[in-house]
Structures are given as structure tokens and as C-alpha cells.
A and B are shown apart, each in its own frame.
Chain A
Amino acid sequence: MSQTSYKPPWWLPGGLSVLAIAALAGLPLLALMNEASNLTLLDVVNDPYNRRVISFSLYQAILSTALSVVLAIPLAVALSREPRFFGRTLLINLFSLSLVIPTIVAIVGIVSIFGQSGLANQLLQNFGFNSFSIYGLQGILLAHVFFNMPLAARVFLQSLENIPQEQWRLAAQLGLPSSSRWRLIEWPAIRSQLAGISILIFALCFTSFTIVMTLGGGPRATTIEVAIYQALRFDFDINTAVALALIQLVLCTLIMIATHSLGTHTTQGLSSIKLNQNTLYASGHYFNGLIISIAALFLITPLVSLIVKAFNPATIGVITHAKTLSAASNTLVVALAAGAIAVAMGVGLQLSARHLRLRLYKHSSGRALQLVGNVILVIPPVVLGTGLFILLRPHADVFALGLVIVVAINSLMALPFVLRILEGPVLQAAQQHDRLIQSLGIHGMPRWRLLDWPHLKKPIGYSMAVSSTLAAGDLSAIALFGSERIATLPLLLYQRIGSYRHHEALTTAVLLLLLCFALFFILQRVIGGKPDA
């Protein structure tokens, strides 16, 4: 107890985090800028191929956003009009599962249903239609809708369920027909979320890497992210990589500014949804049921098909293959290291931000400190990777450092999620007892041990689980820095898809899925303790 006399300054945890972020993101960015001084940006923008890549990135993102949002509206309305049916909660929880399921795993499932020999194509052929190709723009759109339509539906549903009961009662008393209820009650609730969710989905699709790599990637369907990767790993064309990285940087900054100026708060997806009593719709059950069934089929069949087909003649060979085992252990190392670093940086930022807000009453400074952690939203992983490449190549064998670099990039990628999860709990942990603690003169480690840790261990466990799972499933960083020496399961899976070894890909995908689920639940339990204990 003699250590209580030492009082670390309030800015120390946040300062260390900022320093780490500056080193991981700032230095590569400087290297990028420095390299860019060698080229004329106008030539880059005027190059016909670059222009086509830029416009394809925008085009597919706009289409993906429009499709996801438009399809989500009837689904959200149908779900809100049917507040009670078997499996409803399960289905809605499935909507946020994309947080745990790695993109590349879901793609394997999607291909097994919608691919050349998948169920959907066989049905089409049986009815005399031409088969549908999963590769190219249509495949990219399909996968983007698979991931983002549920996200939008969940946000709309939440908004619909927050409509005050009085409005429904009034509508019933006035005997409003279904069309007027839609126009006067439901549509305004949906419209209030429309801009926010659209820009979020647009940002996600615009920087989409894994989906475009696996389902597009040919010269006809390449986004800026993938073109940067190809310039580095196909062409050794550093100039093109740097130029495209800068263009991506500018466009992402614009999107971020748009997001903030819209002041969106759409991503409340982490809180629970309360049931409303919207049982006034006596008719239309069949129609609602149809919409919900189609959506459920669309979301569930790829996952079921994946799991069923994972058990095939190649299974044992894949699981016991030395490559698979080393990739699995690399994945675990990357996931835990990136998760721990992300959580440490996140806790550090939030503790100092809290001090700024509660003790020094500097709200905007506190907010700015948190924003530092969102740097990856402006510098996408492939851009960051390009910067790191240029920074480190003169001094070291970049591929030997592969895993370390991947951990660094993945920890920054997880940081925005960690910050979002921790923000509320860190403030709450102080608001109740801050004055008492201050008057007792408790600070530093004892304060953390007595007050913060008991309050925060659950959210910390949750953010560790989320960030480790994200890192375990990421392809973008390892695609740049992986090699035959160092692979993770997502890279191995990508290679097996790329060489059309379907059986091996299916088994690898399920292995990665199991690893992610295990990480997600075990980390929450081990760090956060028993649920509701």
C-alpha cells in the first residue's frame, strides 16, 4: 500500500496511446507523403485505368448502398409489424452477426449457394433460366447486400420500435388505413435514419477489400483498395500505389467529414431492442411472413451450406495439414496481440479523455482525444500498409516482419470499435463516485483496481472479444504482408479460393469460423467474468 503516494499524471495513459497511434499511423503517412513528392498527381488522375478504378469504386458503393437500404426497409417494416413469432429474436441477433463472422468466411458460404454449381444456380437452370455468375459486379453487390442489408434493417427496426405507443393508439382510434400509417408514422421514423445509415454503408462498401478481392479483382471489377494492393504486389509499381493511396485518403476524409456533419447516431446496434406493441395490423400477415422468410433464407442458407459442406473428403487432410496448423496458430497470435493492443490504446485514450471531460471540463478536447483513435477510418488498412511498406523496406525484410506489421494494422482497425464500446462505461464508472474518490485522494492504480476495473471488466472483455475476432478474420493487412512463410487462416482461405480448391476452402472457412466464435465467447467470459455475476 506504500505505492499510493505515486500519482501518475492524468495525461499519461492517453499520451502513451496517442504516441503509439502516431508511430503506427503518422510515420507511414509521412513516408507516403514524402514518396508522393516524386509524382505528379494530375497524371495519376488523368490515367484512364485509374479513372475507371475510381469511378468503379464509387459506382459499386452507390449501388450497394441503394440496394441494401431499399431492401432493408420492407424487411424492417415487416418485422416491426410482426412483433411475435418463433425465432424472431434469433433472426434479429443474426443481423449483427457480421461483427463475428469474417467476411471471407461468409463469401465462401455465399459462393456455395450462388456460385456456378450452387443451389441457387441449379434452381435457376431447372426453371430454364441462364445461370448467374457470382464473379464481377453482381457478385460484389450480392455480398455487400448480404452484409449491409441486415445492418440497415436493424437500425430501421430500432427506430420503428422507438415510436411512442401513443402514436399507434391514436392511429387506431382514428381508424387510419395501413397506407396512412406508413406515410404518417413509419416512414418518418425510417427517414430519420436514412442519411446516417446510407453514409455508413457507403463508407463500408467504398473501402471494401475482401469482397472485391475474392469476387471481383479482375481488371473489370477493381476498387481503389484492391488496385493499391495489385500495384504493390503484382507490379511493384510504387508510384501508382502511392498515388492511389493518396486519392483514397482524400476520398475517405471527405466521407468522414460527411458522416460527422450529418451528426449520425445510427450505430446503436449494440444496445438491446425492446418489443413494442405494434399489433394493430390484423391483415398482411402473409405478405410480412413472405418478406421475412425470404430475408431469413438469404441470410441463413449460405451459413448452413458452408457448415454442411465443410465435412467432405478433404476435411481430415486440411485440418491436419502443417500449413493449416501454422496459419491457425498465427491467426491466434495476431488476434490476441492486436486485440490486447487495441484495448490498451482504447482504455488509455478513454481514461485521459474522461479526465479532460469530468475534471477539467474540456469536452471538446476530450472528444478530440477520442477521435485520434478513429484514424483508421480515414487511412484504410491497405493505404496504411503501403505507407508501412515504404517506411520499412529500406531497413528490413518486410516479409520477415509480416506478423508484427499485421498486428499493428489490425490493432488500429479494431480501435474505433473499442472506443465506442468503452466510451459509455468509462464515463459511468466515474460519474457515480468521482467526487467521493477525489475527496478520499484515491488515484492511480488503486483507483483503477477499486473503482474502474470492477465497472469496466465486462466492457473490456467485450471489446477484447470484438477486436480479437475482427483481427482473426481480417484479410487486408495479411494480403499485403503475408507470404508463403507467414500466413493466417484468412490468407490461406483466400489462396485456396483463388486456386479453386473448393473442398479445402470450405473446411478452412469453418475452421476460421469456429476459431472466431471461440475467441469471441471465451475472451468475454475469461476477462469479463460470468454473465450477470
Chain B
Amino acid sequence: MHSVLPFQFFKKSPLQLPSSGLRGNTRSLAASIVTCGALLLGSSAILAEDKTLTVYTYESFTSEWGPGPVVKKAFEAQCECTLQFVPLDSSAGILNRVQLEGSNTKADVVLGLDTNLMATAKDTGLLATSEVDTSTVALPIKWTSDTFVPFDYGYFAFVYDTEALASPPSSLEELVNAPDDLKIIIQDPRTSTPGLGLLLWVKSVYGDKAADAWKKLQPKILTVTKGWSEAYFSLFLNGEAPMVLSYSTSPGYHMAIDKTERYQAAAFSEGHYLQVEVAALLESSTNKALGREFLQFMLSKEFQTALPLTNVMYPSTDIGDDLPAEFNKLIQPESVLLIDSAEVRDNRKEWLREWLDVSSQ
């Protein structure tokens, strides 16, 4: 009758001393716990010597064609440490994640926030100063932050498939007023920095009328994805829609690597919104020196020259002839749009609500 009991097995377990009663068992159990504990302590002491730097970033940064593998190899060669990239499912998600984890976070460095999120991120009190020399930085804007290290930049743009769309809109206004059968794919401004970028792009062009513009845009939005990768790779490149929110630099990759001019960015007459991607050190990190070494490394020639064809962005420093020739063929924005980071911090929630409100109608 008892044979079905799964724990019957332990009755004949050789671990049990034949003469010992319950007490004896408890004692040997206690002894083995102590032994295990000692072993664990010992092994963690050994592990502690092998330093690991944990970096939270977005998924496409760590993909096999992204900068992750190159950067990891180069940095590990100089630091005698392990560089561990933790890919999160979206870029704005990085900030959300460290906020959720608070000071218990495992991250030493966050990589992939942008100019728009800087003030919000700094206000969390979770970040430490970078102590990095940013004098070599060459951006369309002057760099003054002592917390964030800018590693690359680009302009948001709608990329289109020339085989599906012969004449793309030439301005945001034209896109907003285009016939509803022109389908576009965008990203969610709550989870994705390009998504937030478009929200601010529309805001800086339309101001108080932004909600009306979004209302007109609604029927043209095929879908709103969580992150950039799904929108670009899974949907746009598979022909699900002729236009996708991406960067003015995206065609550079297709021209240089795929050797095709099929995918182009549409130049908009109102100007393009700038994104500078940044990294920062966490206050809770126990590896601050190593973290700062990594942040400085991000401005090194090795790191910077890897970016154009892996992260497909302009490097944040002047790398001269190392910039691929294809990058000279990219559209140049007539004017550069950027809303001050503090203004974004103060209004982001409200603007997101406005977008959610229009998008849910």
C-alpha cells in the first residue's frame, strides 16, 4: 500500500547510518550543511578575485552583428576582467529596470540611455559621476554632463523601402496628411528610445497641436512595437510595411554591408530630432574603478571605430577616415531638433499620457 509513496526510497538510503536514530541524522545533516556552507564561502572567495563588470544594455547592442562581441573582446584584453552584457528587451526599459531594482541592482553600468532620458535618470539618485575626460567628444551639441558619457549619436528618421514606396513624404506634415493606406511601423515611447524620440519630434514640430497630429497619424500606424529590433528586423525587413521609424544612419549599413541602396531614409523639411546615446555608472556598483575604466574605454578609438557598422550610428568622437565612406551619402538634416532633457523630465509623463490617450481611441 505504501509502495507508491515517492519518499519511500529514502528509507533505504545508504546515507543513513544503521544505528543512528533521529538525533544522529539531524547531527549529520547539520554537519553537512556546515561543510557545504564552508565550500560555498570558499568558492565565492575565489570568484571574487575574478572581477566581473555587469552592463545593462538593449538587445541589438549585444547581438552577434552588434558592437557587443567586438567591444567585449577588446575591453577584456586590457582589463583582466569579465565584461558581462545583460541584454534587456528595450532601451527605455534599461532605466525602468534599474528603477525597479533600486539599489539592489546587479548592474555596474547602464549603456543605451539617451539625451531625452538623462535628466529623468539622474533624478533617480541611482547614478554616480563618471569622472571621464569628455574633451575629445565631437557632437552636434556641446557636452557638459559629468554623469553621462556619450558614445554615439544619430538622427531619427523614417526609413523606407524604395521598392515598395517610390516617393516618400518629404516632411512630417506630409506624412501626417498622407493617405491612410501608407503604413508605418513605430515603437512604443514607453519602452523604446526611438519611440520616445518620435514623440518628442512630433512635439517639437507641432507643440500644443501634437495630439491632433497623432490623431491623423493613427490610421497609418500598422503596429507599435516594444523595441526597435522587432520593428526593423522582424517586420520592416520582412516587408510588413513600407516605412519604419529608425535612424538616418540605417541606410549606411545596407549600403556598406548588404551593398544595396534599396533602403533609404526620408529627409523631412522640418528637421530631424537628435539622439545622443549615453552610458553611466551606478552609485550602488561595488566595481566603480573598473566601471569608470570601461566608460573611458567607450571614447577610445577602438570602441568608437566599431560603432558605425555595428551599432549603425555616428561615433561621438572624430574618427577621421575610419568613418565608412557610405556615411557621407546619408541625408543631412536641414535643422537639428532637440528638447532640453530637463523639459523632457518635467513633461514626459504628461506627453506619454497624451499619446496613450490618442492611441487608445
Contacts and interface: CB of A to CB of B under 8 A. Distances in A.
Interface of A: 47-49, 52-53, 56, 135, 218-220, 222, 230, 232-237, 389, 393-394, 396-400, 454, 457, 483-485, 495, 498-501, 526-527, 529
B100 interface: yes
14 contacts: A49-B357, A218-B223, A218-B359, A219-B360, A389-B100, A394-B102, A397-B104, A484-B88, A495-B89, A499-B229, A500-B230, A500-B235, A500-B238, A527-B6
Nearest to A395: B104
Contacts of A233: 93, 96, 100
B39 interface: no
A229 to B, nearest CB: 12
Interface string B227-238: 001100011001
A113 to B, nearest CB: 19
Contacts of A454: 1
A368 to B, nearest CB: 33
B100 A398 contact: yes
B4 to A, nearest CB: 5
Given A53-B360, A219-B224, 4 more contacts: A52-B360, A500-B234, A527-B4, A527-B6
A529 B224 CA distance: 51
B29 to A, nearest CB: 20
Interface of B: 1, 4, 6, 86-89, 93, 95-97, 99-102, 104-106, 188, 190-191, 223-224, 226, 229-230, 234-235, 238, 349, 352-353, 355-357, 359-361
Nearest to A530: B4
B226 A498 contact: yes
A398 B101 contact: yes
Nearest to A116: B240
B102 A393 contact: yes
A118 B191 CA distance: 30
Contacts of A48: 357
Contacts of B86: 484-485
Given A454-B1, A526-B6, A235 B359 contact: no
B230 A498 contact: yes
Contacts of A389: 100
Among B4, B96, B97, B359, chain A packs the most CB atoms within 10 A around the CB of B4
Nearest to B229: A499
Contacts of B96: 233-236
B4 A499 contact: no
A219 B352 contact: no
B360 A222 contact: yes
Contacts of B226: 498
A232 B100 contact: yes
Contact of A220 (B1, B95, B359): B359
Contact of A52 (B238, B349, B361): B361
Contacts of B95: 236
B107 to A, nearest CB: 10
B47 to A, nearest CB: 16
B224 A397 contact: no
Given A135-B223, A526-B4, A484 B87 contact: yes
Contacts of A49: 353, 356-357, 360
A209 B90 CA distance: 21
Contact of B356 (A219, A400, A499, A526): A219
Nearest to B355: A219
Contacts of A526: 4, 6
B58 to A, nearest CB: 11
A501 B235 CA distance: 10
A236 B99 contact: yes
A389 B101 CA distance: 10
Nearest to A533: B4
A272 to B, nearest CB: 24
A457 B3 CA distance: 12
B248 to A, nearest CB: 24
Nearest to B359: A219
A56 to B, nearest CB: 8
Contacts of A501: 234
Given A484-B86, A495-B89, A218 B101 contact: no
A135 B224 CA distance: 12
A47 B357 CA distance: 9
Nearest to B189: A234
Contacts of A485: 86
A526 B190 CA distance: 48
A452 B15 CA distance: 31
A233 B227 CA distance: 13
Nearest to A56: B360
Nearest to A230: B190
Among B100, B190, B238, B349, chain A packs the most CB atoms within 10 A around the CB of B100
